[in-house]
Copies of this chain bind each other. A is one copy, B any other.
Amino acid sequence: MPKAKFEVIYKDLKRKIESLEYPSLGLLPSENTMVGIYGCSRNTIRRAIAELAEEGYVQSLHGKGVRIIYQPIDQASFTIGGIESFKESAVRNHKKYYTEVIQFAEITADERVAQRTGFPANSELYYIQRVRYLENKALILDVNMFFKPIVPGLTPEIARDSIYEYIENKLGMSIITSKRKMTVERATEIDEKHLELNDYNCLAVVSGQTYNGDGIMFEYTQSRHRPDYFCFQDTATRKR
């Protein structure tokens, strides 16, 4: 799949780090060594390393080498990272999953919706509410709005399977950037009605805007997670 050289090298290094072939806390081979190993220029090696550093797999040490700081994560809960569909996440986390569509409508964005979602006012939108089941427990309530001119032809059937799959495979549109905000909100009546909240009175809420390959925002999503099955991972780098 990867056509670019740096991606091949990136994936190879990533695999070797995850399999501990390159052990944690050790150093990677030097850039010049890897130039010999992979038969490419130093810049290409550096690009692969930069991506690994971005994900918290390694950290470059000026004058010393590239330290591996990868540590395997515990798979206890539902882990989120990157842009992933519910289906992809479920598969990656080895969970049985199921989706119930509880609302499917077409709406026009009024001023308030436009303000909250980032869509232009009077946009034609699909409005979808879905309940996500993991291991037969109702854990996530998703509210999605899709920009109809960009994502035409949505149906409840597609919503029950995977909308992202439809967008990427059927519409041939690429999904690139996603801006997300994470908050913790008090449970609403709708949450309590559809989710098995036990006695939690809060939810982990991820709100996000997604942009396609043309730089157009086509989706606003709010995912409301039951607290005990929610985990979000992140790697940050400090700016000077």
Measured CB to CB, the residues of A under 8 A from B are 1-2, 53-54, 56, 59, 61-62, 64, 67, 69, 71, 77, 81-83, 118, 174-186, 199-204, 211, 213-215, 217, 225, 227-228, 230-240
Contacts and interface: CB of A to CB of B under 8 A. Distances in A.
Contacts of A61: 213-215
Given A180-B235, A239-B82, A227 B215 contact: no
A59 B176 contact: yes
Contact of A215 (B67, B186, B236): B67
8 contacts: A56-B177, A59-B215, A69-B179, A81-B236, A83-B236, A178-B237, A181-B233, A199-B201
A201 B130 CA distance: 26
A180 B233 contact: yes
Give the number of copies in the complex. 2
Most buried by B among A64, A67, A200, A232: A232
A69 B181 contact: no
Given A83-B237, A239-B82, A227 B183 contact: yes
A177 B71 CA distance: 14
B180 A236 contact: yes
B185 A238 contact: no
A15 to B, nearest CB: 14
Contact of A183 (B1, B62, B181, B230): B230
Contact of A178 (B1, B184, B230, B238): B238
Given A82-B236, A82-B239, 7 more contacts: A69-B215, A82-B237, A177-B237, A178-B235, A179-B233, A180-B234, A184-B203
A229 to B, nearest CB: 10
A238 B69 contact: no
A177 B69 contact: yes
List the 7 shortest-distance A-B pairs measured between CB atoms, nearest first.
A67-B215, A184-B227, A202-B202, A182-B232, A83-B238, A184-B204, A178-B236
Nearest to A54: B54
Contacts of A1: 240
Contacts of A2: 240
